[in-house]
Amino acid sequence: MKKWVFILAIAISLLRAQEEHPFNKGETLLYDVSLNFVSAGTASLELGDIEDYDGTSAYHITFRMKTNSVWDQIFRIRDTVETWIDTEGLFTRKLKKTINEPRYSQKLWADFDYGSGIITTNKKALSVSSEIRDPYSFFYYLRTVPLKVDDLFNFTIFDNHKLTDLSLIVHRKEQIDVPVGKFDCLVVEPFKEGRMLFKNKGDMKVWLSDDSQRLPVKIISKAKFGSLVMKLVRHAP
């Protein structure tokens, strides 16, 4: 009897998640990536199977970025990030990251045990008092949040074996064209301690579609080697 109650609880959780969120199992976001205004490769966000994780359901999300054959000769990138996020609270339960770039590589895994209040990584352990999101789970969480111009809110991100307190501001509304179509968007920007998230103001901006799906249709960020721009070229289903 207990077994069937457990299965029923998981099933209800899966149905509730699919009803409440603007994304479902199987969603794929494909981006063209340009570096200094030159096409450099592709990136993708894939929402895979909903999996059981310690008795709860979790979305399995995979981010991949790779340079094309031309840029492989200059600055080869092969990055993969996997995150498992709670289907109801959209906080991170598990994270795996493999970064392969010139002069920089990283392998990271992290398990989030909220019962004991500990995040365990392959390098250290961190204490937490509440649910935490990584940059990728935060994107999906942000898609569920009602937003309007001048909104400002705070959050904590886990990345690179550490916790960082950040804020996010909604700057303005803007209509933009990307390869997949024309969108009315909200322009949002993260920042830290009165400064923008990275080194200078304007180092990262995200254009979220101003509709029920809240698609991240364009992302601009600055890196050591120039300005990186991601534009949505395909959204499925």
The pLDDT value given to residue 194: 55
Task: Give the pLDDT confidence of 211-235 residue by residue, as tens digits.
Answer: 999 999 999 998 777 889 999 999 9
pLDDT tier at 191, thresholds 50, 70, 90: confident
84: number of CA atoms within 13 Å, CB side? 18
- Provide the domain limits for residue 84: 2-236
CA dist 116 and 134 (Å) reads: 19
CATH, residue 36: 2.50.20
% of the chain with per-residue pLDDT over 90: 74
CA dist 124 and 82 (Å) reads: 19
Mean pLDDT of 144-152: 95
34 class by beta-carbon count within 10 Å (0-12 exposed, 13-18 middle, 19+ buried): middle
Structural domain count, the chain:
1
